[in-house]
Chain A
Amino acid sequence: MSETMTGAEMVLRAFQEQDVEHIFGYPGGAVLPIYDALFAQEKVEHILVRHEQGATHAAEGYARSSGKPGVVLVTSGPGATNAVTGLTDALMDSIPMVCITGQVATHLIGNDAFQEADTVGITRPCTKHNYLVQSIDDLPRILHEAFHVATTGRPGPVVVDLPKDIQFATGKYLTKSEVRHKTYHPRVKGDLDAINKAIDLIASAKKPVFYTGGGVINSGPKASQLLREFVKITGFPITSTLMGLGSYPSADPQWLGMLGMHGTYEANWAMHDCDVMINIGARFDDRITGRLDAFAPNSKKIHIDIDPSSINKTVMVDIGIIGDCAHVLEDMIRLYKSRNLQPDKAEMVAWWAEIDGWRGKDCLAYEKDSKVIKPQYAIQRLYEMTKGPRTFITTEVGQHQMWAAQYYRFEEPNRWMTSGGLGTMGYGVPAAVGVQVANPDGLVIDIAGEASVQMTMQEISTAVQYRLPIKIFIINNEYMGMVRQWQELLHGGRYSQSYSEALPDFVKMAEAYGATGIRAQTPDELDAAIQLMIDTPGPVIFDCVVSKNENCYPMIPSGAAHNEMILSTDSVQHEVSDAGKIMV
């Protein structure tokens, strides 16, 4: 027997049926009926953010650290437009999210009503799918479809734009099991012929490399387990994109570190010189490939991706396998074992010797300083003092993000939350809020920059309200560091608008919010200050004052190839081409 209820009640009922425990939102006129229904129940907890962008990033952090979809509830007009950055971020990084936006009543749509915006029009290109609910009869189906679309296939954000009159209207609720999508049925199993061909290629490889990405993390913990098993039985080296960190343990000797623009020397050279590349859940992003016509020029490429449009998008591959990483890896391991394949041992020894040569460059080495805290040192100390299975790291975007990716090391998936595709400054604070909600016992640290953190620092208030003990570790070099670095390397050292003028006193700011402020200015006091941060039970803002002009290396200059990477400013002999200059 289907129950009769209001549209607003249907939203809450669907949340409960979809096992939603937390939602991130901000009320307003066009969602008041839903907030009223929220008031009348206790199963779904609402986290009140301070800005709708914060709600979306919090939902992303929640999703990435828990494997469950993040859920957002915002009002019409500005509520929806403020959510656009987080929706785009979730689309680029394939994060499952369901965002309910209020809308003016159906008879007012198109009349430029108060707080009206064409939300489905605005969010069409920045969501995986979106809906404008036009009848109460469609609402339960749309709500369940939204969760299905957001969480299956290549995950992504889904917007449900819900006019206020439909929230008040009454209709019959449909349960999850009564809804089946008409067109959307993504494929998870890979083609076995292609998998067999891939295994033949893998077994014949002389200089192989695994290149893995966020798809492994999105596929779930099982994919990471299977990846570890496959890497072990092949004995091949493995590198990962920024998005994939944690799927393979960094402590393992087969791990080469991250690849790409600020990846390690050994990872990028292994990619450049490999003869067989096994791409699992990565998408040949421009941060990874560098100059396309010089990308791994002598390699045969295998690409496993759940999204058919990712295959042959920018790099033509020899074997494309459409499917979910865990499913494909499971078949690969089974077939590889049953066919008793082994790569040539002597070739592997030679390949590893070559890799060890590149490792000998010690590309992450930096000059130590006894008076000023080097940003790399700060993150190394932070890592040594906070590492562990219950530690979760979020970041903002810029130099500190790349240093965090280089010097903080991950052994497990779902511990590293960073804005990879969109590169959204301001991601880290709200993402940390979401991570802490999903992991109340975790140590959640936002490795931030002093510029990025100012974009969404209002969410510190959210952390204080909900007693979320997030730690905001600001690498404060008084510059938009990555902008400054590019201006130094590409624009003749003309630091146009990249100095962080008129900074707030972060310690006093923490106190003003009711959080704890800590500052460290010399290497001597750093460890004790980090320990104090760890021991402080509530939210902390840590102002880590670091050297101002440090650059982030290694670096592949834009428009250059993997084998043209530079290790320090002294070695910048590479004239950046005009084609390179126009790259971001």
Chain B
Amino acid sequence: MMTDDKISSHTMAVLVDNEAGVLARVIGLFSGRGYNIDSLAVAEVDGDGQMSRITIVTCGTPMVVEQIKAQLGRLVSVHRVVDLTVEAESVERELALIKVSGNGDNRVEALRLSEAFRARVVDATPASFIFELTGRKEKVDAFIDLMRPIGLQEVSRTGVVAISRGPDPL
């Protein structure tokens, strides 16, 4: 049987029991087996602190991605693993806080571009802005690239979160 060696990016949603060390198990699995983590986001999602959802963006050949999913599923504290890239149509978003400083034309240009990207100003001083931007990773990347020559100071990003489209839960 031939194997496909093409590397592609996959977004996985991992529902885990919210117990001590569970994130270390997931991360340790990736480092121990040599898989990539391009982005990671984790938070409680059920309100009573019982379950967390980990969104991992990873990449690999189809065989490796299948392995990653199976290895995650094998962890005792994992309820469910869904490869949102393969198994569902999904919406992906990332939030970034971006600090830009400067004066004069740069300041005007930053504000103008932020409007074009629908970023919100969440903090301002006479010499700086902090923008809040949500969107797909590519959009966030593009905005940050535009801010770089204008006076980009600092970036903080959440990593990708994703959810499947349509009325049903995973």
Q: Which of these binds chain A: B16-24, B39-47, B86-94, B159-167?
A: B16-24
- A132-B21, A309-B73 as given contacts; A183 in contact with B78, CB under 8 Å: yes
Contact with B along A300-344 (1 / 0, CB 8 A): 010000011101110011100000000000000000000000000
Q: Roughly how many angstroms separate A301 CA and B1 CA in the complex, as a whole number?
A: 9
Task: Report yes or no: B76 in contact with A124, Cβ–Cβ below 8 A.
Answer: no
- Total contacts A-B at CB 8 Å: 44
- A316-B1, A316-B3, A316-B63 as given contacts; A120 in contact with B74, CB under 8 Å: no
Q: Roughly how many angstroms separate A309 CA and B63 CA in the complex, as a whole number?
A: 11
Q: Does B36 contact A (CB under 8 A)?
A: no
- A124-B25, A125-B28, A134-B20 as given contacts; A149 in contact with B63, CB under 8 Å: no
- A183-B78, A183-B79 as given contacts; A313 in contact with B1, CB under 8 Å: no
Q: Does A129 contact B (CB under 8 A)?
A: yes
Chain A residue with the shortest CB-CB distance to B21 = A120
Contact with B along A118-161 (1 / 0, CB 8 A): 00110011001100101000000000000001000000000000
Interface size, chain A (Cβ < 8 Å) = 22
B residues 57-89 touching A (CB-CB < 8 Å): 63, 66-67, 70-71, 73-74, 76-79
How close is A125's CB to chain B, nearest CB, in angstroms?
5
Q: Does B126 contact A (CB under 8 A)?
A: no
Task: Report yes or no: B76 in contact with A149, Cβ–Cβ below 8 A.
Answer: yes
How close is B75's CB to chain A, nearest CB, in angstroms?
8
How close is B4's CB to chain A, nearest CB, in angstroms?
10
How close is B85's CB to chain A, nearest CB, in angstroms?
18
Task: Report yes or no: B71 in contact with A309, Cβ–Cβ below 8 A.
Answer: yes
- A124-B25, A316-B3 as given contacts; A308 in contact with B70, CB under 8 Å: yes
How close is B46's CB to chain A, nearest CB, in angstroms?
12
Task: Report yes or no: A312 in contact with B63, Cβ–Cβ below 8 A.
Answer: yes
Chain A residue with the shortest CB-CB distance to B63 = A312
Q: Roughly how many angstroms separate A224 CA and B67 CA in the complex, as a whole number?
A: 29
Residues of B within 8 A of A129 (CB): 76-77
Task: Report yes or no: A124 in contact with B67, Cβ–Cβ below 8 A.
Answer: no
Q: Does A114 contact B (CB under 8 A)?
A: no
Task: Report yes or no: A128 in contact with B76, Cβ–Cβ below 8 A.
Answer: yes
- A183-B76, A183-B77, A309-B71 as given contacts; A121 in contact with B63, CB under 8 Å: no
Q: Does A345 contact B (CB under 8 A)?
A: no
How close is B78's CB to chain A, nearest CB, in angstroms?
6
Please classify the interface of chain A as helix (H, G, I), strand (E, B), loop, or mixed, using the class held by over half of its residues: loop
- A121-B24, A316-B1 as given contacts; A183 in contact with B17, CB under 8 Å: yes
Q: Roughly how many angstroms separate A125 CA and B71 CA in the complex, as a whole number?
A: 12
How close is A75's CB to chain B, nearest CB, in angstroms?
21
Chain A residue with the shortest CB-CB distance to B71 = A309
Q: Does A184 contact B (CB under 8 A)?
A: yes
Please classify the interface of chain B as helix (H, G, I), strand (E, B), loop, or mixed, using the class held by over half of its residues: helix
Q: Roughly how many angstroms separate A124 CA and B23 CA in the complex, as a whole number?
A: 12
Which residue of B20, B25, B78 is within 8 Å of A132 (Cβ)? Answer: B20
Task: Report yes or no: A312 in contact with B20, Cβ–Cβ below 8 A.
Answer: no
Q: Does A182 contact B (CB under 8 A)?
A: yes
Q: Roughly how many angstroms separate A132 CA and B22 CA in the complex, as a whole number?
A: 12
Q: Roughly how many angstroms separate A502 CA and B35 CA in the complex, as a whole number?
A: 45
How close is A106's CB to chain B, nearest CB, in angstroms?
12
Q: Roughly how many angstroms separate A266 CA and B76 CA in the complex, as a whole number?
A: 40
Residues of B within 8 A of A317 (CB): 1
Residues of B within 8 A of A132 (CB): 20-21
Q: Roughly how many angstroms separate A130 CA and B164 CA in the complex, as a whole number?
A: 32
Task: Report yes or no: A318 in contact with B67, Cβ–Cβ below 8 A.
Answer: no
Q: Roughly how many angstroms separate A74 CA and B125 CA in the complex, as a whole number?
A: 60
How close is B140's CB to chain A, nearest CB, in angstroms?
33
Residues of B within 8 A of A125 (CB): 28, 32
Q: Roughly how many angstroms separate A120 CA and B21 CA in the complex, as a whole number?
A: 9
Chain B residue with the shortest CB-CB distance to A317 = B1
The listed residue with most A CB atoms (<10 A of its CB), out of B1, B24, B63, is: B1
Residues of A within 8 A of B70 (CB): 308-309, 311, 313
Q: Roughly how many angstroms separate A8 CA and B25 CA in the complex, as a whole number?
A: 28
Q: Roughly how many angstroms separate A120 CA and B24 CA in the complex, as a whole number?
A: 10
How close is B100's CB to chain A, nearest CB, in angstroms?
40
Q: Roughly how many angstroms separate A301 CA and B71 CA in the complex, as a whole number?
A: 22
Residues of B within 8 A of A308 (CB): 70, 73-74
Chain A residue with the shortest CB-CB distance to B80 = A183
A residues 456-470 touching B (CB-CB < 8 Å): none
Q: Roughly how many angstroms separate A120 CA and B66 CA in the complex, as a whole number?
A: 28
How close is A300's CB to chain B, nearest CB, in angstroms?
9
A residues 93-137 touching B (CB-CB < 8 Å): 120-121, 124-125, 128-129, 132, 134
Q: Roughly how many angstroms separate A106 CA and B95 CA in the complex, as a whole number?
A: 38
A residues 150-191 touching B (CB-CB < 8 Å): 182-184
Q: Roughly how many angstroms separate A354 CA and B134 CA in the complex, as a whole number?
A: 67
Task: Report yes or no: A307 in contact with B74, Cβ–Cβ below 8 A.
Answer: yes
B residues 110-169 touching A (CB-CB < 8 Å): none
Task: Report yes or no: B21 in contact with A182, Cβ–Cβ below 8 A.
Answer: no
Q: Roughly how many angstroms separate A121 CA and B28 CA in the complex, as a whole number?
A: 10
Residues of B within 8 A of A121 (CB): 24
Chain B residue with the shortest CB-CB distance to A132 = B20
Q: Roughly how many angstroms separate A134 CA and B74 CA in the complex, as a whole number?
A: 24
Q: Roughly how many angstroms separate A183 CA and B75 CA in the complex, as a whole number?
A: 9
How close is B114's CB to chain A, nearest CB, in angstroms?
43
Which residue of A183, A301, A313 is within 8 Å of B67 (Cβ)? Answer: A313
Contact with B along A522-560 (1 / 0, CB 8 A): 000000000000000000000000000000000000000
Residues of A within 8 A of B74 (CB): 307-309
How close is B129's CB to chain A, nearest CB, in angstroms?
40
The listed residue with most B CB atoms (<10 A of its CB), out of A129, A308, A317, is: A308
Task: Report yes or no: A124 in contact with B73, Cβ–Cβ below 8 A.
Answer: no
Q: What are 8 A-to-B residue pairs whose CB atoms are below 8 Å?
A: A120-B21, A182-B17, A183-B76, A183-B77, A184-B76, A307-B74, A308-B70, A313-B70
9 tightest A-B contacts by CB?
Answer: A309-B70, A129-B76, A316-B1, A308-B70, A184-B76, A309-B71, A183-B79, A309-B74, A125-B32
Q: Which residues of A contact B (CB under 8 A)?
A: 120-121, 124-125, 128-129, 132, 134, 149, 182-184, 301, 307-309, 311-313, 316-318
